[in-house]
Amino acid sequence: MKEPHSFSRVAQPIRNFAQRFAYVGLVVAAFALMMLAKVDTILVERVRTHMTDAVAPILDVLSQPLDTVNRGVAEVQAMKNLYEENTRLREERTRLMHWKSVAEKLEAENRVLKEQLNVIPEREASFVTARVIADTGGAFSQSVIVNAGARDGVEKGQAAVTADGLVGRVIDVGSRSARVLLLTDINAKIPVLVDPTRTRAIMAGANLAKPRLTWLPPGAVVSVGDSVVTSGHAGVFPPGLRVGQVAAVGEGGLIVQPYVDLTRLEYVRILNFGSGGILQLPQRSIDADVPGKERGRRP
């Protein structure tokens, strides 16, 4: 190779030597890092959080034009079937009005019954709405980065939802960004209940499009079309969040079709139930009980 610069001519052999020497070292370092990530997740995750936080403003800007284009496309599509959409919505509205009256009646009934039984009221959730600025739903992991972080009140362990249902859980929080682990990720294990039998199960992701139900109690009866909601067991998620529907009962287990289209997430709501994240899990289950009971007794 021709090297016209004297600077390069001196630097080149040194660089070559360093390169060869460094190469093996770096391969070992990468291996060691993977081992470390397996053992001590906190240290490695902190590095990741800082990295994500640093790039968040760039991603925020880059994701905006694409969002706009997508919204434009969606609007044009909506214009095309305005008429059918209107008819459909009218029908749905009639149906929902009926449901509304039923729900109101049930709510009133429920309130009276709860008062009679002295049930501890559930805590109301506040939420932060955040925009998805990076989608890494690939073969390696299933997560998204949102443009809200610790300064917006997002905490590790909080649930992320859309109007359709559960999206996942916050696993990393930077100051202005956070990473949401989608319920399809291989690390996502969510305690759920399968309605209408209230069968307990764990919904486990596998980096595939649809998660599976595992750890069903023996003799459990679950059929296609049953709805899956979070159970609130283990305190990771608040109970009763809509998750999905049992889509198929196959050889590989029960496959769940999530209600949320995880490939087209634009905005998610991060729910805050006033409780800490997954990290304080052992203390929290005790702490959460005590004040709850006290509050329940209050007149």
Pairwise CA distance, residues 125 & 156, whole Å = 15
Pairwise CA distance, residues 261 & 244, whole Å = 10
Closest among 217, 210, 218, 220 to 252, alpha carbons compared: 210
Shortest Cβ 22–another protein spacing (Å)? 5
Q: Which residues face 199 on adjacent strands?
A: 194
* Residues of this chain, 257-286, that bind another protein according to CB under 8 A: 261, 263-266
Q: Which is nearer to another protein, 132 or 160 (CB)?
A: 132
**Does the protein bind another protein through residue 15 (CB under 8 A)?**
yes
Pairwise CA distance, residues 105 & 227, whole Å = 23
**Does the protein bind another protein through residue 59 (CB under 8 A)?**
yes
Pairwise CA distance, residues 8 & 17, whole Å = 14
Is residue 271 helix, strand or coil?
strand
String of contacts with another protein for each residue 156-195, x by CB under 8 A: -----------------------x-x---xx---------
**Does the protein bind another protein through residue 198 (CB under 8 A)?**
no
Is residue 248 helix, strand or coil?
strand
**Does the protein bind another protein through residue 141 (CB under 8 A)?**
yes
**Does the protein bind another protein through residue 47 (CB under 8 A)?**
yes
Tokens standing for residue 224:
């296609």
Instruction: Please select the residue that binds another protein; options are 27, 89, 224, 234, rule is CB under 8 A.
Output: 27
**Does the protein bind another protein through residue 32 (CB under 8 A)?**
yes
Pairwise CA distance, residues 84 & 78, whole Å = 10
Residues that bind another protein (CB under 8 A): 1, 4-7, 12, 15-16, 18-19, 22-23, 26-27, 29-34, 36-38, 44, 47-48, 51-52, 55, 58-59, 62-63, 66-67, 70, 132-145, 179, 181, 185-186, 206-209, 261, 263-266
